[in-house]
Amino acid sequence: MNKNLLKVALAQISPVWLNKEKTIEKIKKSIAGAAKENCELIVFGEALLPGYPFWLSLIGGAEWNTKTNKEMHAHYVRNSVTIEKGELNSICNLAKEYNIAIYLGIMERAQNRGGHSIYASLVYINQDGAIKSVHRKLQPTYDERLTWAPGDGNGLQVHSLKEFTVGGLNCWENWMPLPRTALYGLGENLHIAVWPGSDHNTKDITRFIARESRSFVISVSALMQKSDFPEDIPYYDKIVKTAPDVLANGGSCIAGPDGEWIVEPVLHKEGLIIETIDFNRVLEERQNFDVVGHYSRPDITKLHVNRERQSTVSYDS
C-alpha cells in the first residue's frame, strides 16, 4: 500500500429534498459505489442531509411571523439530524464495513443547544466508523440566517488519513481567512470545501485556497433542479411556481497544491467523481511557500482560536 496515494470520491448528488430517511438511503448508495471503486475518502455537499433551504429565496423567507415560514422551518427541523440519537449510525457502519472515510454535510439538530435550533454541520467519520468531528458552520450566509443558527470553533479539527492531514469548512466559511488559517496551523494539507451547489462558488476559491495553502483542495457541491422538489413537501405549489429550472448545477472539482486544476468544475452531472491524489505534491509545493511554516512570522501576527463547544447552560453533576 502506497501511503502517499489517496483515492477520493466526490459525491455530486441531489438530496431527496427535506426527506431525511430517503436522503440517507441515497447517501448510502453513493458510499457503496465509492467502495466498489476502492475509494478511501468520499465527500458530500453542504447540508445535503436533508437539503439546502431553497424556499427562503422563493417564497418570502424574510417575512416576519408568517405561518408559511413557521411550517417550513418546523418541517426542516423534523428532517434534520440528531447525532446523539444515532441517526448517522447506518452511515458510520458503512464507513467501517468499507474502510472508507466520509465528510458529510448535514443539518444538525443539536441536543446541547436544546434540540430546536439547527446548524449546518460538516461531519467527519473515519475509516473505523467513528465520528471524529462535527463542525457547525460559524456564520450562516445571508438568508440562511433565517433558519440556521451560528456555530462555534469546536469543529475546527483536522484528521490523519494515510499521509494526509484533512480538514474542512462549509461554503462561504472558505472565504474567511482566519478559519482557514486555524486549519493550516493544525497541519492541514488536504482541504475539503463543501457547498450547496453551483460553480460560481467553486471556480475561483478552490484554486485560491490551494495556491494559498499549497494543499490539495476538494470542493463538493450538490445538485438541485425544480423537478427534484418532492410533491409531498409543504407549500410545493408555491415553491415550484417561483423556482428556476436549475437551483444548483454542481461545480465539484479538485485543485492541486500548485493551484492548478486536477478536475475542473463538473456541471449538471450526477454521480461520483473519482481521482487519486499524491501527497508528495504537497511537499514539493511547500518548498517555496508554507503559510504557517517557513513563510510565516508568528512573532508579528498570530491567531487565537477558541475550540470550546458552546452551550447556554452548564450543569454540575
Q: Are 195 and 46 in contact (CB under 8 A)?
A: yes
Please state, in angstroms and rounded to a whole number, the distance separating the CA atoms of residues 253 and 259. 12
Q: How far is CA 145 from the centre of its chain?
A: 17
Residue-level pLDDT at 316: 87
Backbone angles phi, psi at 136, to 5 degrees: -85, 125
Which residue carries 472508507 as its cell? 100
Residue-level pLDDT at 172: 96
Q: Are 172 and 139 in contact (CB under 8 A)?
A: yes
pLDDT tens per residue across all 317 residues of the chain: 789 999 999 999 999 999 999 999 999 999 999 999 999 999 999 999 999 999 999 999 889 999 999 999 999 999 999 999 999 999 999 999 999 999 999 999 999 999 999 999 999 999 999 999 999 999 999 999 999 999 999 999 999 999 999 999 999 999 999 999 999 999 999 999 999 999 999 999 999 999 999 999 999 999 999 999 999 999 999 999 999 999 999 999 999 999 999 999 999 999 999 999 999 999 999 999 999 999 999 999 999 999 999 999 888 88
Question: From the CA atom positions of the chain, what is the Rg in Å?
Answer: 19
Report the relative pairing of strands 118-125 and 101-109 from DSSP bridges: antiparallel
Q: Nearest-CA neighbor of 104 among 165, 23, 162, 42?
A: 42
Its pTM stands at: 0.96
Instruction: Tell me the CATH number of domain 5-285, given options 1.10.10.10, 3.10.450.40, 3.60.110.10, 3.40.50.2000.
Output: 3.60.110.10
The conformation of residue 151, written as its DSSP 8-state character, comes to: -
What are the residues whose beta carbons fall under 8 Å from the beta carbon of 232, sequence distance 6 or more? none
Which residue carries 452548564 as its cell? 314
